[in-house]
C-alpha cells in the first residue's frame, strides 16, 4: 500500500504550490513529514507536509502548526499514546515547564502509581535548562504527529468528485496497491473551487498511464453547476505545481488562443515534442502548428518526418500516451506563456486572446 504525502508551499497569504511524495510505509511517511516541516525557506515562504488519504478532498488553506500548548485540545486516547511513546525523563522535562492545565491533562490519563512516579521525576530533575525543556516539548509534539499519521486508514475509492473506475479491493473494501512500484504509479491531482480560485485538492493513484489519462479526461470534461470547476492533471513526484485554475485544459483548444501565444509557446519546446504532437493532429492543426514554429525548429521537425518516410518501420515516435504527454507539455507551456503575457500586457489593444466555449 502506498502512503501519500502532500507538500504545500505557502506565502504570507495563501497556498501557492503543491507536490506529492509516495512512501512505502507509515513510518517513512511520518519521518518525511517531520523532515519537511522543519525546513526553513527564504522570503517567509513555508513548506507544510502531511499524510493524506487517496481520493479525499482537502481544503487548501494555510496550515496552523500543532504546538505543545495544543495538547489540551486533543482526546484522551491520543494523550495515552503519547505517554506510551515518549521517554519518562523527556516527559518529566516537558511537564516541568508546562501549565497546570497540561499537567492535569497528562496526569488524568495515568494510573495513580505512574502519576506519582512522574511527579517524583519532575521534582528530582530540579530546575532544568530552557533548551532541554524546549527539546522535550518538541519530542512530545512529534510523538503526537507521528501517532496521528499512523492512526489514519486509507480512504476507500470513490467520493463526491467521482465514482470513476473499478479497482481490486480487499475484504474490508480498501484498495490493493501492494504489488505496485511507487516509481511506476501515475499520480493525478484534482483542484476544485469556484470562479478562478482553487479551494480543494485531491490526489489519486493509478497503476497504468492509460487509466490516469482517462480519469483526467473524465474530470476535465465534467459539467459543473454555477461557477464551480474541477481541474485534473498528471503530476510527477517531488515536482512543485502552481495552485491555480489554468486557462487551457484541452489540447484542441490551443487554437482559440491568440497566434502570438502559440508562437511564443512553441519556441520553448523541442522538436521531439512537436513531432509527437503533430502525429496526433489533423491536417489543419498540423498546418497551424508548423506555421508558428521558429525556422530552425520547423526544419528539424521536417527532417525527422523525412527520416521516417525514408526508413519506415525504423523511426518510431511513441504511441498514444507518448502523444498525450507531448500535448500536455504544449498545454503547460501555453498556460505559462499566457499568464506571463497577460501580466506584462503584451497582447495589444483590441486583440481577442481566447475564445470561450
In order, the DSSP letters of 87-133 are: -HHHHHHHHHTS-HHHHHHHHHTS-HHHHHHHHHHHHHH-S--HHHH
In tens digits, the chain (357 residues) has pLDDT values of 678 999 999 988 889 999 999 998 877 887 888 788 888 888 788 898 888 888 888 888 776 677 889 999 999 988 998 888 888 888 999 999 899 999 999 999 999 999 999 999 888 877 788 888 888 888 888 788 767 655 554 433 333 333 344 444 444 444 443 334 445 789 999 999 998 889 999 999 998 888 999 999 999 988 887 889 999 999 999 999 999 888 888 888 888 888 888 899 999 999 999 999 998 899 999 999 999 999 999 999 999 989 888 887 776 777 888 898 899 999 999 988 888 888 887 654 333 444 444
Which pLDDT value is given to residue 241?
Answer: 93
The answer to whether 329 touches 276, Cβ cutoff 8 Å, is no
Element containing residue 4 per DSSP (H, E): strand 3-10
Q: Residue 270's Cα: distance from chain center in Å?
A: 27
Q: Is 165 left (phi over 0), alpha (psi -120 to 50) or beta?
A: left
User: Residues 248-292: pLDDT tens digits?
Assistant: 888 888 888 888 888 999 999 999 999 999 988 999 999 999 999
228-235, strands of its sheet edge to edge: 58-59, 197-206, 186-194, 228-235
Element containing residue 236 per DSSP (H, E): none
This prediction's pTM: 0.69
User: Residues 41-80: pLDDT tens digits?
Assistant: 887 888 988 888 888 888 887 766 778 899 999 999 889 9
Amino acid at each position: 500500500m502506498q502512503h501519500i504525502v502532500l507538500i504545500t508551499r505557502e506565502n504570507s497569504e495563501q497556498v501557492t504550490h503543491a507536490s506529492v511524495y509516495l512512501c512505502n510505509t507509515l513510518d517513512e511517511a511520518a519521518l518525511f513529514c517531520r523532515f519537511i516541516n522543519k525546513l526553513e525557506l527564504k522570503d517567509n515562504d513555508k513548506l507544510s507536509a502531511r499524510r493524506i488519504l487517496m481520493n479525499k478532498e482537502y481544503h487548501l488553506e494555510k496550515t496552523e502548526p500543532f504546538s505543545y500548548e495544543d495538547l489540551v485540545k486533543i482526546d484522551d486516547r491520543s494523550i495515552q499514546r503519547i505517554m506510551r511513546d515518549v521517554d519518562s525523563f523527556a516527559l518529566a522535562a516537558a511537564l516541568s515547564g508546562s501549565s497546570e492545565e497540561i499537567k492535569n491533562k497528562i496526569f488524568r490519563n495515568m494510573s495513580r502509581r505512574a502519576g506519582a512516579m512522574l511527579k517524583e521525576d519532575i521534582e528530582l530533575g530540579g530546575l532544568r535548562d530552557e533548551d532541554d525543556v524546549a527539546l522535550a516539548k518538541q519530542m512530545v509534539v512529534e510523538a503526537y504527529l507521528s501517532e496521528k499519521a499512523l492512526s489514519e486508514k486509507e480512504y476507500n475509492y470513490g467520493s463526491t468528485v467521482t465514482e470513476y473506475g473499478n479497482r481490486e479491493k480487499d475484504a474490508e473494501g480498501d484498495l490493493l496497491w501492494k504489488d505496485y512500484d511507487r516509481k511506476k504509479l501515475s499520480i493525478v491531482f484534482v483542484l476544485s473551487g469556484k470562479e478562478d480560485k482553487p479551494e480543494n485538492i485531491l490526489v489519486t493513484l493509478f497503476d497504468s498511464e492509460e487509466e490516469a489519462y482517462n480519469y483526467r479526461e473524465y474530470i476535465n470534461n465534467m459539467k459543473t453547476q454555477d461557477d464551480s470547476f474541477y481541474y485534473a492533471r498528471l503530476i510527477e513526484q517531488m515536482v512543485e505545481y502552481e495552485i491555480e485554475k489554468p486557462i487551457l485544459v484541452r489540447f484542441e483548444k490551443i487554437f482559440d488562443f491568440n497566434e502570438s501565444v502559440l508562437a511564443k509557446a512553441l519556441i520553448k519546446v523541442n522538436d521531439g515534442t512537436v513531432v509527437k504532437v503533430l502525429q496526433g493532429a489533423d491536417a489543419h492543426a498540423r498546418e497551424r502548428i508548423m506555421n508558428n514554429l521558429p525556422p530552425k525548429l520547423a526544419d528539424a521537425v521536417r527532417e525527422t518526418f523525412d527520416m521516417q518516410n525514408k526508413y519506415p518501420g525504423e523511426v518510431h515516435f511513441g504511441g498514444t500516451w507518448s502523444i498525450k504527454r507531448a500535448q500536455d507539455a504544449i498545454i503547460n507551456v501555453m498556460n505559462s506563456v499566457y499568464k506571463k503575457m497577460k501580466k506584462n500586457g503584451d497582447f495589444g489593444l483590441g486583440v481577442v486572446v481566447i475564445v470561450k466555449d
